[in-house]
Amino acid sequence: MTDDTLQPPKPVMAFRVGVTGHRKSRLAGQRERIEAQVETALAAVSEGLRRAHEKYAVDYADGPPVRYFVSCLADGADTFAAEKALDDGWLLLAPLPFSAQVYGGDFAPEDREEFDAILARAHAAAELDGKHRDLADKDRAYLQAGVVTVDQSDFIIAVWDGEEARGVGGTAMIKEEALAAGKPVVWINALSDKPMTVLTRRAGETAFSDTFIYETVDAIIAPPAAGEIESAYSEKSTHARSAYRAYARERAHRFNYGSFFQFWEKAFAGRWPFAVGLTCPSPAEEIEAARKSTLAQKLKASDYDQRVFNELIIPRFAWADHLAVHYGNLYRSSYFFNYLFAAVAVFLALFDLVASGYGFGNKTIWIGLEVTIIALIMTVTGLGWRGRWHKKWIDYRQLAEELRQYRLSYLTLGRDARGEDVYAGQDAEPAGWVEWYFNAVQREAGMTSAAFAPGSIAVIAKTILEEEVRPQIVYHERKAKTLHAMEHRLHRLGEYAFGATLLACLVYLGLAFASGDGKAGLQYWAKTAKEEIKGLVTLMTAFFPALGAGFFGIRVQGEFGSTAERSHATAAQLGAIAQKFERLAAADEPRLETLRRRVAEAARAMLMENMDWRQLYISKPLNLPG
């Protein structure tokens, strides 16, 4: 773990190898040979990881790489491979299909001691909720454990006889799950001493070689390529690796640059009072506060999971969230400032027409102030472009939301995000470095260490419902209401400004029509009044349209109406998901499989809202008002 108070923490380099294989009864006389081939495969992975660490050390945290080995510890290949990995210094992650006590009863007396000894050396063990009533239940339990093994791995070793699947949850089926997930499989023949091969979804079967393994590990570990453009339509063609390194160099920001935006946001939304803070908490303060009440604590999670939350998930989320808020504040305050003060610049350009009649006209002063405001607008816009405030806000917010959802998926053995179609869509996908960083965090975190008994599954479902889903519903409902009010008031203010312009024009035209050359009476009064208000009318008919355009510009730039509609839809979608969580928590026999599905649905709903938001704003960099 790294220092989390000075800069955003870099991920610790980690790699996860899983195993699936036949039972001991189908491996007669093959243990020594299988262990030797497992050792060869793990040695190649370790060497590939060493080379990758040497090559990419600057983009990872200091310290040696972490090597995780994932095994269900079924008797046979799973235990053979796990013991060999432990002896070679790998950290064991063990997703057990049943509770350890029930599972241990499946082992022959001579194998039970070996199982207990290996399990005692495990870094983390997750006891899944498999049923042990009949063969169908057992097969389903082994399938679930195999799927979790694939989810928690980057690379799979399959000790397989090459035959088609004979039932549910067997080695052939788990091997296919790995290939479908795009994860390479090293095939060790379970029956005879044949050379190892590598199976991939794209290339099919390839001869095993150290070089191939090195390249495979490198492809998984490597940060975004130096030449990869972060976003095809961003305001600046920034390379993804440069964008990540800029994130890693960020520092804490204490001044609240969003105070200007927050004041006007409350004003336009009709929220009183208008008080805003000029400072914001540092990441260190946010981390300390978050550690006092984590989701893991509320669930009374294991000490292992508490450490993962406190030392890994919370610091990474706090930094991403802090920086997203900072750059979001900069961006939004800047375009509010630009549009509003562009109208003020127009006002100052013509103010002398009115001020001179009252004895304080000095066009040099007013033009000087106008030049100052225009220079400020151009400076702010230039700083925003060079500093990439808009793009950083979008990227950092995406990372923060990914990490927010990861709290749930980590505790429920959720699937890693790669391959999910939530990322599909032109220019809507996270920047390359965001996805890379998030995947690196998942690898570093390893696997939860928990027992998923029916009672605990119900508690988890209820806690997620009360602590995450329902608060998000309230948040999105409140957000939709606020943004709708802003959209409505900005629209009205723009209309009023143009209406006031029309009224001023009509008043002046009415006076012009009624005026005459007489020395008294209505015509004389109209003529005199027309001359007296000429400067004011000129000011009003220039300033009010500029102010109206400013209101409409803020409205278009902020996309308040579209965002309000999306938040409203997300609240409704989460409301339907909340009902599913309620039914799960109240079920007589809640299942982990269902819990994982519900967590994935909730995460998807919230991530899709964020992805739509990202797509909406990606084409709205900070620009000069026009």
Coil, strand, or helix at residue 587? coil
Question: 263 and 216 in one domain?
Answer: no
Check pLDDT > 80 for residue 622.
yes
> What pLDDT does 392 receive?
93
**Tokens linked to 144:** 């679930």
Q: Distance between CA 117 and CA 32 in Å, rounded?
A: 19
Q: Distance between CA 246 and CA 388 in Å, rounded?
A: 10
Is the CB of residue 486 less than 8 Å from the CB of residue 275? no
Question: 265 and 211 in one domain?
Answer: no
- Domain total of the chain: 2
> Is there a domain that residue 418 lies in?
no
Collect all residues with Cβ–Cβ distance below 8 Å to 201 and sequence separation of at least 6. Answer: 179, 180, 182
Q: Tell which of 221, 247, 267 closes a domain.
A: 221
Least Cα distance to 506 among 525, 530, 478 occurs for 530
> Is there a domain that residue 132 lies in?
yes
Cα 198 to the center of its chain, rounded Å: 33
Question: 216 and 305 in one domain?
Answer: no
- Residues 508-526 have a mean pLDDT of 82
**Tokens linked to 388:** 């990439």
2 C-beta neighbours (distance < 10 Å), count = 18
Strands 91-96 and 124-127: parallel
> Is there a domain that residue 438 lies in?
no
> What pLDDT does 530 receive?
85
Q: 0.85 exceeded by the pTM?
A: yes
Give backbone dihedrals phi and psi of 228, rounded to 5 degrees, phi first: -75, 120
Check pLDDT > 50 for residue 583.
yes
> Is there a domain that residue 51 lies in?
yes
Coil, strand, or helix at residue 339? helix
Check pLDDT > 80 for residue 598.
yes
> Is there a domain that residue 409 lies in?
yes
> What pLDDT does 34 receive?
94
Handedness of CA 566, 572, 573, 575 (dihedral sign): positive
Taking only the tens place, the pLDDT of each residue in 447-501 is 999 999 888 999 999 999 999 999 999 999 999 999 999 999 999 999 999 999 9
Model confidence at 232, pLDDT cuts 50, 70, 90, reads low
Residues 246, 249, 255: CA angle, nearest 5 degrees: 100
Least Cα distance to 549 among 370, 380, 343, 344 occurs for 343
Widest pairwise Cα distance in the chain:
124
Question: 205 and 327 in one domain?
Answer: no
Question: 277 and 202 in one domain?
Answer: no
Coil, strand, or helix at residue 296? helix
> What pLDDT does 149 receive?
96
Taking only the tens place, the pLDDT of each residue in 181-199 is 999 999 999 988 899 999 9
Q: Tell which of 170, 195, 221 closes a domain.
A: 221
Q: Find the DSSP H helices in 309-362.
A: 314-350, 352-355
Question: 271 and 156 in one domain?
Answer: no
Q: Find the DSSP H helices in 559-591.
A: 560-586
| SS3 track for 473-518 | HHHHHHHHHHHHHHHHHHHHHHHHHHHHHHHHHHHHHHHHHHCCCC
> What pLDDT does 452 receive?
94
> What pLDDT does 420 receive?
42
Taking only the tens place, the pLDDT of each residue in 394-451 is 999 999 999 999 999 999 998 654 444 333 333 344 457 999 999 999 999 999 999 9
- Residues 234-248 have a mean pLDDT of 79
Count of residues in the chain: 626
> What pLDDT does 111 receive?
87
> Is there a domain that residue 230 lies in?
no
Question: 107 and 37 in one domain?
Answer: yes
**Percentage of residues in the chain having pLDDT higher than 90:** 68
**Distances from the Cα of 606 to the Cαs of 205, 246, 264, 573, in angstroms?**
39, 27, 27, 9
**Percentage of residues in the chain having pLDDT higher than 70:** 93
In the chain the first and final C-alpha atoms are separated, in Å, by: 49
Coil, strand, or helix at residue 126? strand
Question: 313 and 216 in one domain?
Answer: no
Give backbone dihedrals phi and psi of 4, rounded to 5 degrees, phi first: -110, 15
CATH of the domain at 38: 3.40.50.450
Collect all residues with Cβ–Cβ distance below 8 Å to 607 and sequence separation of at least 6. Answer: 401, 402, 405, 422
For 514, the domain range is 259-413+448-617
Residue 388: left if φ>0, alpha if ψ -120 to 50, beta else—which one?
Answer: left
- Residues 108-123 have a mean pLDDT of 92
> Is there a domain that residue 297 lies in?
yes
Question: 263 and 215 in one domain?
Answer: no
Question: 216 and 266 in one domain?
Answer: no
> Is there a domain that residue 613 lies in?
yes
CA dihedral 201→206→212→215, nearest 10 degrees, is -20
Where are the extended beta strands (E) located within 71-122?
91-96
Write the DSSP string, 27-64. Answer: -TT-HHHHHHHHHHHHHHHHHHHHHHHHHHGGGS-SSP
Question: 278 and 188 in one domain?
Answer: no
Taking only the tens place, the pLDDT of each residue in 194-230 is 999 999 988 889 999 999 999 999 999 999 876 666 6
Taking only the tens place, the pLDDT of each residue in 121-154 is 999 999 999 998 888 889 999 999 999 999 999 9
Q: Tell which of 196, 221, 246 closes a domain.
A: 221
Collect all residues with Cβ–Cβ distance below 8 Å to 99 and sequence separation of at least 6. Answer: 127, 451, 453
Angle between helices 534-558 and 470-514 (to 10 degrees): 160
Strands 124-127 and 155-160: unpaired
Least Cα distance to 32 among 77, 90, 92 occurs for 77
- Residues 105-131 have a mean pLDDT of 92
The residues pairing with 199 across neighbouring beta strands, listed in sequence order, are 185, 205
pLDDT, averaged across the chain: 89
Q: Fill in the DSSP letter of residue 414.
A: P
Q: Which helix (H) or strand (E) holds 15?
A: strand 14-21
Collect all residues with Cβ–Cβ distance below 8 Å to 551 and sequence separation of at least 6. Answer: 339, 490, 491, 493, 494, 497
Is the CB of residue 337 less than 8 Å from the CB of residue 260? yes
Is the CB of residue 419 less than 8 Å from the CB of residue 608? no
Is the CB of residue 93 less than 8 Å from the CB of residue 123? yes
Residue type, 362: N
Taking only the tens place, the pLDDT of each residue in 259-290 is 888 888 888 888 766 677 888 899 999 999 99
Question: 36 and 166 in one domain?
Answer: yes
The residues pairing with 128 across neighbouring beta strands, listed in sequence order, are none
Q: Find the DSSP H helices in 389-465.
A: 389-411, 432-445, 454-464
